[in-house]
Chains A and B, each alone.
Chain A
Amino acid sequence: QKEVEQDPGPLSVPEGAIVSLNCTYSNSAFQYFMWYRQYSRKGPELLMYTYSSGNKEDGRFTAQVDKSSKYISLFIRDSQPSDSATYLCAMSDRGSTLGRLYFGRGTQLTVWP
């Protein structure tokens, strides 16, 4: 069992829909949680970064962390065709290094006009 599980999709929604992306994890030492967006043939781009349980909002994006359930989510409101990409969740125990992140496999999202 991988330490971070993420449904690979693919997920296809119409423009304007609310998108929900989720990851579960098994390592209770994880303290930092991130969401990256990766367009085809590009590097991952940091979208959201959270430390504690609860919600964090940035524009159309909301990241949610529930440490008790070991579950994180990313919500995209009013989705746009430009949101079509692969979304990767990542987490870290911070330990001795912040550079080592544990990634989910990514969810491929398509938003059609």
Chain B
Amino acid sequence: KAGVTQTPRYLIKTRGQQVTLSCSPISGHRSVSWYQQTPGQGLQFLFEYFSETQRNKGNFPGRFSGRQFSNSRSEMNVSTLELGDSALYLCASGDGEDTIYFGEGSWLTVV
């Protein structure tokens, strides 16, 4: 069974630009959650989607948004990028019964 797939793996953006990251969950998983990981703050929860509905949201500004499609694939978007948005963005999927499994992440550098 294929794992969680995230694209792109690495990207560099300029301050003020926007970025969209994509996540394909494990087959059969309907829950997708997103995390931001930085050396200073560790892993911080962004939001979770289940069957196309946002179920929970972390303490991030409105510049961070996401969505989930009918095939459970998810995207997250960050608008008006700031230098502090440089981080590893991790997507995780779950079946709602056990725990969650992470992808390899998307490394975002904002310059």
Contacts and interface: CB of A to CB of B under 8 A. Distances in A.
Interface in B38-59: 42-43, 45, 48, 50, 55-56, 58
Interface string A80-112: 000000001010100011111111111000000
Contact of B104 (A34, A42, A103): A42
B21 interface: no
Nearest to A34: B99
A6 to B, nearest CB: 9
Nearest to B9: A41
Interface residues on B, range: 20 to 34
Contacts of A42: 104-105
Contact of A43 (B42, B45, B105): B105
B33 to A, nearest CB: 3
B56 A97 contact: yes
Contacts, number: 66
A103 B58 CA distance: 13
A75 interface: no
Identify the interface centre among A49, A92, A101, A102: most chain B CB within 10 Å of its CB.
Answer: A101
A44 interface: yes
A45 B103 CA distance: 9
Contacts of B105: 42-43
Interface of B: 4, 6, 31-33, 42-43, 45, 48, 50, 55-56, 58, 90, 92, 94, 96-105, 107
